Structure 1
Amino acid sequence: MKHDVTEEIHHWKELISGDIPPWVMRFIKLTGKAINRHEMIKADDSVLLSVSGGKDSLALALALSLRLKWLPVSYSMKAVMIDWKEHPIGTMAQERLHEYFASLGIPLTILEEEQYPQSFKGEFNCYLCSRNRRRILFNYAAEHGYPLIAMGHHLDDLVETTLLNLTSRAKFSTMLPIQEFFQGKLHIIRPMIEVHEHTTRRLSEVYQLPSVKPVCPYDQTNIRSRLKPIVKELVLLDRDAREHIYNSHAFSYRIPRKNSVSEDRSE
């Protein structure tokens, strides 16, 4: 469902002050529901937020911060963003992001890194860029003692990944809500995996999140951008098409983590 284009514009600081409308509260609780369902975060965990600067990672930071206000337990967070030297986001954008995360109570570190390292030997594509970003994040998490990396992937990302793997690789697989690496020393978690992309887009537009979109040479031509209209067509056939694809993966497992708890049953 699309939101009204004439919807009144607000500021993200209103949400932090506690003026949270029902639709934003539903978004926060849906994020919490996925955290509990897949036992992503336990009491006293240290979570590293992977920040791209876009609407999704900023929405995730907002949800994870605001829900702490009514949880009976706590967890700590730090955010890290990779700013490519070849396409820097600029001083003003950095200042807006630092203000946003400081208001959420989440320290933000911005790393200046090379998008085209010499090891690529002149080659560049989405796979290499993604692998480079993940390498940087994993190294940072290991060096600073973070066992969890939270990413801003949502339900539409899962659906697109499913279609991509099915049609291009003959595999029925997708991104996992919680993914283990290095024999359990590190987990990637995706708390917004049950949230529609239009919700994060609405949140960003209505509450003017300070999102910044780093330059991507393949932004409008990569396979995911071409899959988005296909997903929209599927939803025209059945409005719950995204949920059906999600449920078809039968995420009924639990990846054991010591002392894991469902810390907010109200969600």
Structure 2
Amino acid sequence: MEGEAKKKRELHLTFAEMAERSISKRFRSKLWSPFVSAIKTYRMIDAGDKIAVCISGGKDSMLLAKMMQMLHRYTEKPFELKFLVMDPGYNPQNREKIEANAERLEIPITIFETDIFEQTDKVEHSPCYVCARMRRGHLYSQARKLGCNKIALGHHFSDVIETTVMSMFYASQLQGMLPMLRSQNYPGMTLIRPLYKIHEDDIIAWSRANNLNFIQCACRFTEKNFENEDGSGSSKRQEVKEIIRKLKRDNPNIEKSIFNSLHAVCIETFPGFKANGKPHSFLERFDEENSELS
């Protein structure tokens, strides 16, 4: 009888309510718990915050929007939300898909237009880098117009790991991705990454479980290259994804080890490092120690 009553209750749930239930029940340990943990651990939200949740239309930002909506509903700490969608020049099909998914998930989005794709289409070198910077600038600007003091982006655990490895392999530096940082160009604005502890594979599993189909990058430069549900294509990031996948076969905990190492950096063992944009050498400390002994 109890099972039949449960089925009857589920029949009256909307699609959005079913998606929320999957987050809080089936995927609680993989999605909801690490989401709440990241927000608490890194103190991302304060009472009175007005947060612009930035939605690109992909799986990560849509899940972020849904969980921020749930948190807003259940938390005892009052804050406001704006669900912000920037259209950088999507084709009609992708624009419609974003709007349809938002409607199905009952996320009240605010859309604003830009011509970023048109501008970056003319860029010969590093168009993705230029596009990312322009997107960030437009989002900060629009969030400020809406009176927000924080913007939330959908970068997840896997992004953190891949960015760290990419910086070492291709940029000759050790650089991480912070869960929260203040904007240098927009005083009073803070960026937060609430999916910081959530694995991309678990986001994909949630999407599949709810039969959700999201857009990929969708820009003119890369949309033809995107073949996989994880948004990977012909890029350095994809190369790193493949490297990590291969390493995980022998060491399933390698991502966790990389993530934990970012929280336990031993500066004293590095021959060089940067602080506030200024390079430093271990020789500075070595000379200081030597002068103290003299």
What letter matches 2:71 in structure 1? R
- Identify the residue that residue 5 of structure 1 maps to in structure 2: none
1:232 aligns with 2:233: no
CA contact (8 A) 1:30 1:194 kept: yes
- Provide the rounded CA distance (Å) in 2 between the counterparts of 1:91 and 1:223: 27
- Identify the residue that residue 126 of structure 1 maps to in structure 2: 128
1:58 aligns with 2:62: yes
- Identify the residue that residue 222 of structure 1 maps to in structure 2: 235
1:143 aligns with 2:145: yes
* Coordinate RMSD, CA, aligned: 2.6
TM-score (norm. length: structure 1): 0.80
1:114 aligns with 2:118: no
CA contact (8 A) 1:85 1:112 kept: yes
SS in 2 for 1:23: coil
CA contact (8 A) 1:53 1:211 kept: yes
Structure of greater relative contact order (alpha carbons < 8 Å, 6+ residues apart): 1
1:173 aligns with 2:186: no
Residues 75-98 of structure 1 show CA distances to partners (whole Å, capped at 9, x for unaligned) of 211111222326344563243134
- Identify the residue that residue 53 of structure 2 maps to in structure 1: 49
SS in 2 for 1:171: coil
2:206 to 180, 203, 206: 203
SS in 2 for 1:78: strand
Q: How many angstroms does 1:12 deviate by?
A: 4.1
The equivalences for 1:86-101 within 5 A come to: 87-90=91-94, 92-100=96-104
- Provide the rounded CA distance (Å) in 2 between the counterparts of 1:145 and 1:21: 30
Q: How many angstroms does 1:159 deviate by?
A: 0.6
SS in 2 for 1:135: helix
- 13 and 70 in structure 1: CA distance in 2 versus 1, 3 angstrom threshold: closer
1:212 aligns with 2:215: yes
CA contact (8 A) 1:178 1:190 kept: yes
Relative to structure 2, which stretch is displaced further, 158-167 or 212-221? Answer: 212-221
Residues 154-201 of structure 1 show CA distances to partners (whole Å, capped at 9, x for unaligned) of 111011100111111221112110011138511111111111101110
Q: Relative to total residues, which structure has the larger helix share, 1 or 2?
A: 2
What letter matches 1:212 in structure 2? I
CA contact (8 A) 2:23 2:32 kept: no
- Identify the residue that residue 68 of structure 1 maps to in structure 2: 72
2:159 to 149, 157, 160: 157
- 22 and 238 in structure 1: CA distance in 2 versus 1, 3 angstrom threshold: farther
1:193 aligns with 2:206: no
Aligned residues: 239
CA contact (8 A) 2:167 2:173 kept: yes
- Identify the residue that residue 268 of structure 2 maps to in structure 1: none
CA contact (8 A) 1:86 1:115 kept: no
- Identify the residue that residue 275 of structure 2 maps to in structure 1: none
Residues 203-233 of structure 1 show CA distances to partners (whole Å, capped at 9, x for unaligned) of 1111133522352323421211221111112
CA contact (8 A) 1:155 1:197 kept: yes
- Provide the rounded CA distance (Å) in 2 between the counterparts of 1:21 and 1:134: 31
Residues 14-33 of structure 1 show CA distances to partners (whole Å, capped at 9, x for unaligned) of 134x4656332221121010
Structure 2 unaligned runs (5+)? 1-13, 227-232, 266-294
- 250 and 234 in structure 1: CA distance in 2 versus 1, 3 angstrom threshold: same
- Provide the rounded CA distance (Å) in 2 between the counterparts of 1:21 and 1:147: 28
Mark the structure with the bigger radius of gyration: 2
